[in-house]
Structure 1
Amino acid sequence: MAENKIFAGPRVRRIRNGLQLTQTAMAEALGISPSYLNLIERNQRPLTVQLLLKLASVYKVDLDELQGEVGGSLQQLREVFADPLLTGELPGDQELIEVTEAAPNVAGGIVKLYRAYREQASRLKDLAEVLAGQGHMAAVSDTRLPIDEVREAFEARPNHFTRIEEAVEAFHASLSAGDDLTGALKAWLKKEQGLAVRTLPLHVMPNLRRRFDRHSMRLFISERLSPFDQAREVAMEVASIACHEAITAELEQFRLSTAEARRIGRFELARYAAHALMMPYTTFHAAALRAKYDIDILRARFQVSFEQAANRLTMLQRPGAAGVPFFLVEMDNAGHRLRRAGAQGFPHARFGGACPKLNIHAAFAVPGQILVDRVEMPDGSAYLVIARTVDGPQAGYQERVRRTAVLIGCEVGFADDTVYGAARMPPIAVGPACRLCERQGCLARAEPPVTRPLGLDEMATGLSVFDFQ
C-alpha cells in the first residue's frame, strides 16, 4: 500500500527555531544533509517514516503535531474570508492552508482582527439604532449579503402592497374557486399554462420544497410539506404568473442593488401574493373583525396554517379598511430572527424583538400552545404579544423537527379589539435588546448596554456580571 506523503516543512522549521538550532545542527542530529533539510522545510520533500521517528526520539516531538491537520485555524480563516467584504478574494483553500501552516501566529492575528472588526460593527449598528430612536440619522456602513439587503428593505416599510392586492383580487374574482381554492388553482395552471402539479415522495425529491420541470411542464411539490404549505406553493406559482406585472412594479420600488437581491425580493413578493390569494383582503378583513383577530378561528375558516394567518394579519392596511396594525417576528430556538414584518413597518427602535424575556422564547417549552403577554418597554410603551411554535416540513425517522416560533403583537391600545386582550395580566418589563436596554437588576441580561460603562465594584456585586453605571 502506498504511503501518504507528509509535507510539514513549516512545522519542522518552527520546531527548529523553537530549539534555536541551525539547519546544519538539526540535519547532523537527524543524519541527513543540510540541503535535504532545507528542501523539507520548503515543502519540496516529504517527511519519511524514518525521519518522523527520528524527530520523535531526538527532540521528543509529538507525531500528531507533525501529521495532524490545522483544522481549527483553517476553519476560523474560512469564516473570515467568507465575509461579503472579502468574497472572491481567494479561489480555494490552498492559500489559507499555506498561511495557517507557515505562519500560525499571523493566522491567529487575522482572526482576532476580524472578530474585533465584527464587534465594532455590531456596536456601531446598536448605537445607530439608539440614535434613530431619538430622531437622529446615523449612516453606518456594513457588509451585507443580498438577503440582508432584502430583509432591511421589507422590514422598514408597511407590509402592504396595493398593486399586488388589487391584481390578486381581480384574478380571484375571475377564478370562481368556491370552497376548493387549491383545486381551482391547479385547474387554472393546467388550462392556461399546460402545467400539471404533482406531489413527489421523499426518496424522489429529498432536498427540495418544489421544482418546476420546464421540459415536462410539471410542478413537483415535496410530500414533506403540510397541506397548507403545499397549497401556498401552488398559490405562489399561480400568483407569479397571473400577477407578474404587479409584482415587478412593486419590486422596482425597492431599488435593490444586485440581481441576487432582486431574485430574493421577487420570491418574497410572490409569497405575499400567495397569502393574498389564499386569504382575499375583503373577506379576510371582515372575518378578522368578526372573530376579533382570533388566529385559530381564521386559520380554520380559510384552511391555512397559524403562521400563514398570522402573516396575513400584518398585511391589513388598506386605506379605509385597515385592521389592527400588527407586527410579526419569526425566530428559531437558537435565537436567529428569520422574518420580521409590520403593518406599519417593523418597530425596531421601540420594540426591538430581541429581549430574552419575550414569550416567543418560552413558546419552545410548550409546543403548539398560544402564550399571551402584555409587555412594557423602558420608555413606557406597551404591547400585547402572542406567541406560538410552528413546525416546518415533515421530518423523517431520526431527523429533528424544524420548529420555529412566531410572535405577533400590537400596541396595547388595540388589545381590546382582539380576543387576546380579554385577560388582564400585569405587564412584563422587557427591552428592545440587551445591548440597547438600560434596565438595572435584570435577571435575563446577557450583554452590557453599549450606552453605559461597566460598573465593576469589588465591594458589591449585582445580579448580573454586566452591571453598569
Structure 2
Amino acid sequence: MAENKIFAGARVRRIRNGLSLTQTAMAEALGISPSYLNLIERNQRPLTVQLLLKLASVYKVDLDELQGEASGSVTQLREIFADPLLSGELPGDQELIEVAEAAPNAAMGILKLYRAYREQSSRLKDLSALLSDQGHMAALSDARLPMDEVRDIFENRPHYFARIDEAAEAFHTQLAPGDDLAGALKTWLRKEHGLTVRALPVHVMPDLRRRFDRHSMRLFLSERLSAQDQLREIAMEAAQIALPEAIAADLEQLAFSTGEARRIGRFELARYAAHAIMMPYGAFLAAAQRAKYDIDVVSARFQVSFEQAANRLVTLQRPGASGLAFFLMEIDQAGHRLRKSGAQGFPRARFGGHCPKLNIHAAFSQTGQVLVDRVEVFGGGEFLVVARTVEGPRAGFQERIRRTAILVGCDAAHATETVYGEAPLMTVAGGTACRLCERRGCLARAEPPVTRPLGLDEMVTGLSAFDFQ
C-alpha cells in the first residue's frame, strides 16, 4: 500500500524554534543536510518514516503532533469568516488551513479577538437599550443584514399602514365575498387576470409554500399549508395585483437603504395587505371590540388562524377609529426572534420581551393552550400578556412539526377591557432582559446584569449563578 505523504513543515519549524536550534544544528542531529531541512520546513519535501522516527527518538516528539491537523482551529476560523463582516474575504478553506498550520498561535489570537468582539458587541447593544430606556440616544455601528434592517424599521414604528388598509377595505367591498373569501379571490383572479390557483402535493413541490408560474398564469400552493395559510397566499397574490400603488406608497415611506431590504419590506407589506383583505379594518375592529379582543372568537368569525388574528390586532390604529395598543412577538423553541411589532412600535425599552419568565416560553410545554399573565417589569411598567403556540406547515412522516409561540400584550391598565383581564391573573415579576434587569433573587436569571459587578463571595451563595453586588 502506498504510504501517505506527510507535509508538516510548519510543525517541524515550531519544534526547532521551541528548542532554540538552528537549521544546521537540527539537520546534523537528524542526519540530513540543512538545505533538505529547509525544503521540509517550506513544505517542498515530505517527512519520511525514517525522519519521523528520528524526530521522535532525538527530540521526544509525539508522532501524533506531527501527523495530526489543526482541524479544531480550522473549524473555529471557518465560523469566524462566516460572519457578515468577513464572509467575502476568503474564497475557500485553504488559507484557513495554512494559517492554522503555519501560525497556530496567531490563529488562537484571532479566535480570542473575535470572541472579545462578539462579547463587546453584545454588551454595547445592552447598554444602548439601557440608555434608550433612560431617554438617551446611542448610535451603534454594526454589520447588519438586510433582514436586520427590515426588522428594526418594522419594530420601531406603529404597525399600521393607512394607504394599504383603505385600499384593501375598498377591494374587499368590491369583491363582496360573503362567507367564501377564498372562492371570491380565485374567481376574481381567474376572470380579471386569467390566473388560476392550484394546490400541489408535497412530493411535487417539497421545498416551497407557493410558486407563481408567469408562463401558464398559475399560482401553485403547497398542500402542507392549512386552509387559512392557503387563503393568505392567495390574498397576497391578489394584493400585489390589486393594490400596487398603495403598497408602493407605503414602501417608499420606510426608506430602506438597500435593494434587498426593500424587496423584503415589500414582501412584508404584501403580507400586511393580505391580512387587511382577509380581515377588513372596520369590520375587524367592530368584531374585536364586541368580543373584548378574544383572539379565538375573532379568528372564528373571520375564518382565519389564531396567528393571523393576533397579527391583525396589532394594526388597529386608524386615527379616530383605533383599538387597544397591542404589541406582538413570535419566537421558536430555541428562543429565536421571528417577529416583533407594535401598535405604537414594539415597546422594547419598557417591556423588552427577553425575560425567561414570560409565558411565551412556557407555552411550548402546553401546546395549543392560551396562557395569560400580568407581568411587572423591573424598573416600572405592568403588562397583560397572552401567549399560545401555533403550528406551521403540516409535517410529513418522520418530520418534526414546525411550532412557534406568539405573545400578544398591552398595557395592564387596559386589562379589564379585554376578555383576558376578567379573571384573576398570576403576576410575574420579570424584566426587559437579564442583562438589563437588577432584580435580586431571580431563579430564572440567565446572565449577569451589565450594570452591576458580580458578587464573587466564597462565603455566600445566592439563588443564581450570576449573583451581583
TM bin, normalised by shorter chain, reads over 0.9
Counterpart AA for 2:201: P
Q: Please name the residue that 1:74 is paired with.
A: 74
CA positional deviation for 1:27: 4.8
Unaligned runs of 5+ in 2: none
Go from structure 1 to structure 2 and tell me whether the alpha carbon gap of 1:12 and 1:216 turns closer, same or farther (over 3 Å shift): farther
Confirm whether residue 416 of structure 1 aligns to residue 416 of structure 2. yes
> Could you tell me whether the CA contact under 8 Å between 2:209 and 2:225 is conserved in 1?
yes
Q: Please name the residue that 1:406 is paired with.
A: 406
- What is the CA deviation profile of residues 288-312 of structure 1, one whole-angstrom value per residue up to 9, with x for unaligned ones? 1111111111222222111111111
Distance (whole Å) between structure 2 residues aligned to residue 401 and residue 49 of structure 1: 54
Q: Please name the residue that 2:356 is paired with.
A: 356
Distance (whole Å) between structure 2 residues aligned to residue 179 and residue 47 of structure 1: 80
State how 1:369-448 maps to structure 2 within 5 Å: 369-448=369-448
CA positional deviation for 1:172: 1.4
Go from structure 1 to structure 2 and tell me whether the alpha carbon gap of 1:240 and 1:442 turns closer, same or farther (over 3 Å shift): same
Q: Please name the residue that 2:102 is paired with.
A: 102
Distance (whole Å) between structure 2 residues aligned to residue 325 and residue 360 of structure 1: 19
CA positional deviation for 1:19: 4.8
- What is the CA deviation profile of residues 313-353 of structure 1, one whole-angstrom value per residue up to 9, with x for unaligned ones? 10111112111111011111221111100111000000000
Distance (whole Å) between structure 2 residues aligned to residue 234 and residue 317 of structure 1: 25
State how 1:111-130 maps to structure 2 within 5 Å: 111-130=111-130
CA positional deviation for 1:50: 6.5
Q: Please name the residue that 2:207 is paired with.
A: 207
CA positional deviation for 1:55: 5.6
Go from structure 1 to structure 2 and tell me whether the alpha carbon gap of 1:308 and 1:52 turns closer, same or farther (over 3 Å shift): farther
- What is the CA deviation profile of residues 234-264 of structure 1, one whole-angstrom value per residue up to 9, with x for unaligned ones? 2111112211111111111121111111111
Go from structure 1 to structure 2 and tell me whether the alpha carbon gap of 1:53 and 1:364 turns closer, same or farther (over 3 Å shift): farther
Task: Give the fraction of aligned pairs with identical amino acids, expressed as a percent.
Answer: 77
Q: Please name the residue that 1:164 is paired with.
A: 164
Counterpart AA for 1:398: Q
> Could you tell me whether the CA contact under 8 Å between 2:298 and 2:309 is conserved in 1?
yes
CA positional deviation for 1:441: 1.1
CA positional deviation for 1:465: 2.4
Distance (whole Å) between structure 2 residues aligned to residue 104 and residue 294 of structure 1: 61
Go from structure 1 to structure 2 and tell me whether the alpha carbon gap of 1:444 and 1:56 turns closer, same or farther (over 3 Å shift): same
Once superposed, what is the RMSD of the aligned Cα atoms? 2.3
Counterpart AA for 1:335: G
CA positional deviation for 1:412: 0.8
Distance (whole Å) between structure 2 residues aligned to residue 21 and residue 131 of structure 1: 57
Distance (whole Å) between structure 1 residues aligned to residue 77 and residue 124 of structure 2: 24
SS in 1 for 2:85: helix
> Could you tell me whether the CA contact under 8 Å between 2:372 and 2:425 is conserved in 1?
no
Go from structure 1 to structure 2 and tell me whether the alpha carbon gap of 1:37 and 1:86 turns closer, same or farther (over 3 Å shift): same
SS in 1 for 2:384: strand
Go from structure 1 to structure 2 and tell me whether the alpha carbon gap of 1:439 and 1:11 turns closer, same or farther (over 3 Å shift): same
Counterpart AA for 2:192: E
State how 1:36-115 maps to structure 2 within 5 Å: 36-47=36-47, 65-115=65-115
Q: Please name the residue that 1:460 is paired with.
A: 460
SS in 2 for 1:350: coil
Distance (whole Å) between structure 1 residues aligned to residue 373 and residue 144 of structure 2: 34
Counterpart AA for 1:286: A
SS in 1 for 2:236: helix
- What is the CA deviation profile of residues 60-108 of structure 1, one whole-angstrom value per residue up to 9, with x for unaligned ones? 6555544544333223223322333334222332222221221121111
Q: Please name the residue that 2:304 is paired with.
A: 304
Which stretch of structure 1 is more off in the superposition, 352-361 or 282-291?
282-291
Distance (whole Å) between structure 1 residues aligned to residue 95 and residue 401 of structure 2: 39
Go from structure 1 to structure 2 and tell me whether the alpha carbon gap of 1:305 and 1:124 turns closer, same or farther (over 3 Å shift): same
Which stretch of structure 1 is more off in the superposition, 111-120 or 35-44?
35-44
Distance (whole Å) between structure 1 residues aligned to residue 134 and residue 276 of structure 2: 36
Distance (whole Å) between structure 2 residues aligned to residue 267 and residue 355 of structure 1: 30
TM-score by length of 2: 0.93
Counterpart AA for 2:325: P
Which stretch of structure 1 is more off in the superposition, 61-70 or 429-438?
61-70
- What is the CA deviation profile of residues 333-374 of structure 1, one whole-angstrom value per residue up to 9, with x for unaligned ones? 221111100111000000000001001111111111111111
Unaligned runs of 5+ in 1: none
Q: Please name the residue that 1:149 is paired with.
A: 149
CA positional deviation for 1:4: 5.9
- What is the CA deviation profile of residues 128-172 of structure 1, one whole-angstrom value per residue up to 9, with x for unaligned ones? 211111111222222211111110100000110001101111211
SS in 1 for 2:408: strand
Counterpart AA for 1:200: L
CA positional deviation for 1:273: 0.8
- What is the CA deviation profile of residues 372-400 of structure 1, one whole-angstrom value per residue up to 9, with x for unaligned ones? 11111123311111111111222222222
Go from structure 1 to structure 2 and tell me whether the alpha carbon gap of 1:18 and 1:249 turns closer, same or farther (over 3 Å shift): same
Distance (whole Å) between structure 1 residues aligned to residue 228 and residue 144 of structure 2: 33
Go from structure 1 to structure 2 and tell me whether the alpha carbon gap of 1:99 and 1:417 turns closer, same or farther (over 3 Å shift): same
Distance (whole Å) between structure 2 residues aligned to residue 253 and residue 158 of structure 1: 13
Distance (whole Å) between structure 1 residues aligned to residue 5 and residue 179 of structure 2: 69
Go from structure 1 to structure 2 and tell me whether the alpha carbon gap of 1:291 and 1:34 turns closer, same or farther (over 3 Å shift): same
Distance (whole Å) between structure 2 residues aligned to residue 335 and residue 119 of structure 1: 19
CA positional deviation for 1:183: 2.1
Counterpart AA for 2:400: R
Which stretch of structure 1 is more off in the superposition, 88-97 or 132-141?
88-97
SS in 2 for 1:199: strand
Distance (whole Å) between structure 2 residues aligned to residue 3 and residue 222 of structure 1: 54
Q: Please name the residue that 1:248 is paired with.
A: 248
Counterpart AA for 1:149: E
Go from structure 1 to structure 2 and tell me whether the alpha carbon gap of 1:153 and 1:24 turns closer, same or farther (over 3 Å shift): same
Distance (whole Å) between structure 2 residues aligned to residue 312 and residue 385 of structure 1: 16
TM-score by length of 1: 0.93
Q: Please name the residue that 2:282 is paired with.
A: 282
SS in 1 for 2:254: coil
Confirm whether residue 230 of structure 1 aligns to residue 230 of structure 2. yes
Which stretch of structure 1 is more off in the superposition, 154-163 or 448-457?
448-457
- What is the CA deviation profile of residues 261-283 of structure 1, one whole-angstrom value per residue up to 9, with x for unaligned ones? 11111111111111111111111
> Could you tell me whether the CA contact under 8 Å between 2:212 and 2:219 is conserved in 1?
yes
> Could you tell me whether the CA contact under 8 Å between 2:69 and 2:101 is conserved in 1?
no
Which stretch of structure 1 is more off in the superposition, 353-362 or 57-66?
57-66
CA positional deviation for 1:425: 2.5
Distance (whole Å) between structure 1 residues aligned to residue 306 and residue 31 of structure 2: 75
